[in-house]
Structure 1
Amino acid sequence: MPTPVMAGVDGSAESFAAAEWAAREAVRRERPLLLLHARNWHPRRADGEPADAAQRQLARRALRRAEERVRRACPAVQLSDEQVEGPASAALLSAADRADLLVLGSRGLSGFTGFLVGSVTLAVVAKATCPVVLVRAGEEAADEDLPAEEGSAAEGSAAEGSAEAESAEAESAEDGSAVGEGASDRVGHRDVVLGLDAGDPSDEVIEFAFEAARLRGARLRVLHAWQPPSAFELGPGDVALADKPQQGREWRGFLSAVLQVWRDKYPGVEVVECVPQDKASTALIRAASAAGLLVVGHRLAERPVGPRTGPVTHAVIHHVGCPVAVVPHP
Structure 2
Amino acid sequence: MATPRPAGGLVVAGYDGSPASQRALAWAAAVTHALGDALKIVHAVRLVPSRQGYAVRPLSPSLETVAETLVGAPSMWAGRPLARSRVRAVHAFGGPAEELVDASMTADLVVLGTRGHGRARSALMGSVSSAVAAHAYCPVVVLHERERHESSAVHEVPVPGPGREVVCALTPGDDEEHTARIERIVSSAATVASGCSAPLRLVTVRPATGAPKTPGTKGVSYAVGSLAVRHPGLRVTVETLHGDPVVTLARSTRAAGLLVIGAPHEGGVGAVLAGSPAHRIVHDASCPVMLVH
Q: For residue 37 of structure 2, give the secondary structure of its aligned residue in structure 1.
A: coil
More moved, 23-32 vs 252-261: 252-261
The total of aligned residue pairs comes to 260
Root-mean-square deviation (CA), in Å?
Answer: 3.7
8 Å contact from structure 2 (residues 170, 261) kept in 1 = yes
Whose strand fraction is larger, Structure 1's or Structure 2's? Answer: 2
Q: Greater relative contact order: 1 or 2 (C-alpha under 8 angstroms, separation 6 or more)?
A: 2
Query: Which of residues 16, 21, 33 is equivalent to 1:10?
Result: 16
8 Å contact from structure 1 (residues 7, 34) kept in 2 = yes
1:134 aligns to 2:142 (yes or no): yes
Q: For residue 164 of structure 2, give the secondary structure of its aligned residue in structure 1.
A: coil
Query: Which of residues 156, 164, 168 is equivalent to 1:190?
Result: 164
Aligned AA (1:64): E
8 Å contact from structure 2 (residues 30, 159) kept in 1 = no
Residue 26 of structure 2 is matched in structure 1 by 20
1:316 aligns to 2:281 (yes or no): yes
Distance apart, 1:10 and its partner CA: 0.7
Deviations 1:36-69 (A, max 9, x none): 1101268x9xxxxx994x307x259620232243
**Gaps spanning 5+ residues in structure 2: where?**
1-6, 74-78, 147-152
1: CA distance, partners of 2:40 / 2:130:
21
Residue 94 of structure 1 is matched in structure 2 by 102
Structure (1 or 2) with the larger CA radius of gyration: 1
Distance change >3 Å, CA 302–CA 79, structure 1 → 2: closer
Distance change >3 Å, CA 100–CA 60, structure 1 → 2: farther
**Gaps spanning 5+ residues in structure 1: where?**
45-49, 146-186, 235-246
Whose helix fraction is larger, Structure 1's or Structure 2's? Answer: 1
8 Å contact from structure 2 (residues 9, 36) kept in 1 = no
Distance change >3 Å, CA 263–CA 197, structure 1 → 2: farther
Deviations 1:93-140 (A, max 9, x none): 112222221110223859xxx9x9522121111211111111233453
1: CA distance, partners of 2:266 / 2:209:
27
TM-score normalised by length of structure 1: 0.67
Distance change >3 Å, CA 131–CA 310, structure 1 → 2: farther
Deviations 1:140-188 (A, max 9, x none): 367447xxxxxxxxxxxxxxxxxxxxxxxxxxxxxxxxxxxxxxxxx84
Residue 79 of structure 1 is matched in structure 2 by 87
2: CA distance, partners of 1:315 / 1:14:
18
Residue 67 of structure 1 is matched in structure 2 by 67
8 Å contact from structure 1 (residues 133, 323) kept in 2 = yes
Distance change >3 Å, CA 106–CA 273, structure 1 → 2: same
Aligned AA (1:140): H
Residue 210 of structure 1 is matched in structure 2 by 190
Q: For residue 95 of structure 1, give the secondary structure of its aligned residue in structure 2.
A: helix
Aligned AA (1:197): T
1:36 aligns to 2:36 (yes or no): no
8 Å contact from structure 1 (residues 40, 88) kept in 2 = no
Aligned AA (2:87): L
